[in-house]
């Protein structure tokens, strides 16, 4: 679940139970208009569930286009260990979603 706030900030949350060995359930970042779409970047921090220590940092850049209540675009994710060394990425991901309506 992503929430794009009008002040240019974005938050994301997913179920904590999704990964039994690490916790990466929240990320935060920013977005801005870019031509006929939007660009942004979010950062997530991962902790080891056993030691409760910092394990990794993920940086995800994205470009989206919105059409009514749906959006689509691409994201690029890069992950670093606790020392700042690249451990994975960049990984390219197609993003699609729709607005949650009451």
Q: Where residue 18 falls among pLDDT bands split at 50, 70, 90?
A: low
pLDDT for 75-102, tens place per residue? 999 999 989 999 999 999 999 999 998 8
User: Which pTM does this prediction carry?
Assistant: 0.82
What is the arithmetic mean of pLDDT over 48-75?
Answer: 91
Q: What is the pLDDT of residue 67?
A: 95
DSSP 22-81: EE--EEEEEEEEETTEEEEEEEEEEEETTT--EEEEEEEEEEEEEETTEEEEEEEEEEEE
Instruction: Yes or no: say if 55 and 27 are a contact pair by the CB < 8 Å rule.
Output: no
């Amino acid at each position: 679940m992503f929430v794009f706030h009008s002040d240019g900030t974005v938050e994301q949350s997913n179920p904590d139970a999704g990964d039994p060995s690490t916790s990466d359930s929240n990320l935060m970042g920013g977005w801005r208009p870019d031509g006929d779409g939007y660009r942004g970047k979010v950062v997530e921090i991962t902790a080891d569930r056993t030691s409760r220590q910092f394990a990794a940092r993920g940086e995800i850049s994205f470009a989206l286009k919105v059409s009514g209540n749906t959006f689509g675009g691409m994201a690029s994710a890069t992950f670093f260990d606790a020392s700042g060394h690249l451990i994975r990425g960049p990984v390219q991901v197609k993003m699609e979603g729709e607005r949650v309506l009451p």
